[in-house]
Amino acid sequence: MARTEGDTWDLANSVGATATMVAAARAAATRRPQPVITDEYAEPLVRAVGLDVFTKLASGELDSDELETGVGFPRIVDTFAARARFYDDYFAAAGKEGVRQIVIVASGLDARPYRLAWPAGTTVYEIDQPEVIAFKTATLAEVGAAPTAELRTIGIDLRDDWPAALQEAGFDPARPTAWLAEGVLIGFLPPEAEIRLLDAITPLSAEGSRFAADFGSLNDGSEQSQEQARRTAEGWRRHGLDMDIAALTYPGEHTDVAAHLRADGWDTTTFVLTDLFAAAGLPGLDETEQQGPAATISFVRAIRA
C-alpha cells in the first residue's frame, strides 16, 4: 500500500480508502439522534465501494465504539463529523459574503455539491482522480441525487496541470473563490507538492477569495509515530481491513499551510481539533484522546486580502 511515483487508486484501496473511511463516519454521524451533520448520500456511496467494515459502520451494523481503540482517530465518528461541520460552516459563511465560485480539491466522496443549500448562481468545481469522479457521479445518479448548484467535475491527478484543466472547465480567476483542500495536506503529498498546490491556488484567487484546509502530518517519522502507525494498522486488520494510513503518507515535517498563506498575503485563522468539537457542540476530547497523530493536525481558514 506504500506510495509510489505516479500511483493511482480507486475508493477501495490506497488513499481512496481513507476517503471511504471518512464518508462512513459521516454516515454514522447522520444516524445519530441529534446529528452534527446530515449527509444522506454518504451511506449509499460507502455501500457502493464495498469495504465491509466501512459499510457496517455507515449502516449502523457496527457501533462506532468498537472502532474507538487503535484505529488512529479519537472518537472517529465525532472527529470527522466535526471536521465536516467546520467546512460546511466555512462554505455557508462564504456564500453569505457573496462568493459564488467554489473549488473542492481532491473531493473524494464529498457530497457537498448535492447536500448543501448553495446560493443561486453558485458553480462548484470538483477535482479528483478520473476514476473517483466517475464512480461518485454514477453512484449518485443511481440514487437519484441531483446537484444543488451548477457542478463541473474535473477528473485529473493533482500532480498534473490541474489549474489549466480547471480554467478550461470555465473557472474564472477574476472572481472570488472559496477553495477547500480537506484531508489533502496532512501528509498525503510530498512537501514540495504541497507548496506547488498552494502556489498554484494563490494566483487563481481574486481579492476576497477564501481557502480552508487541514494540515500537518499523520506520520512525522519518529519512533513514536512509527509505533503508533503499527498499532493503528493492527487495529484496522482486526476489523478485516488492510489499511496502513501511515504508509500512505510521506513521513517527516510538512508545510505550515497557514504560515505559507500569510507570506503570500492571506489573512489566516488557525484552529485545532478541540476547537472543531466545541464549535459543533460535541463533548470535548479528554487528555488521552488528545494524544496521537490525528490530534496534532491543525486547521486553517484564510481570506485573500
Residue spans of the domains in the chain: they are: 14-304
CATH superfamily of 14-304: Vaccinia Virus protein VP39 (3.40.50.150)
Residue with cell 456511496: 45
pLDDT in tens, the chain (305 residues): 455 656 655 576 667 788 999 999 999 999 999 999 999 999 999 999 999 999 999 999 987 666 655 555 668 899 999 999 999 999 999 999 999 999 999 999 999 999 999 999 999 999 999 999 999 999 999 999 999 999 999 999 988 999 999 999 999 999 999 999 999 999 888 899 999 999 999 999 999 999 999 999 876 666 776 777 777 777 777 877 777 777 777 877 899 999 999 999 999 999 999 999 999 999 988 777 666 666 779 999 999 98
Interatomic CA distance for residues 62 and 39, integer angstroms: 18
User: Phi/psi at 79 (nearest 5 deg)?
Assistant: -60, -50
Interatomic CA distance for residues 83 and 294, integer angstroms: 12
Interatomic CA distance for residues 126 and 135, integer angstroms: 13
Contacts for 86 with CB less than 8 Å, ≥ 6 apart:
212, 271, 276, 279, 280, 299
Cα–Cα nearest to 249, from 190, 167, 294: 190
Interatomic CA distance for residues 302 and 184, integer angstroms: 16
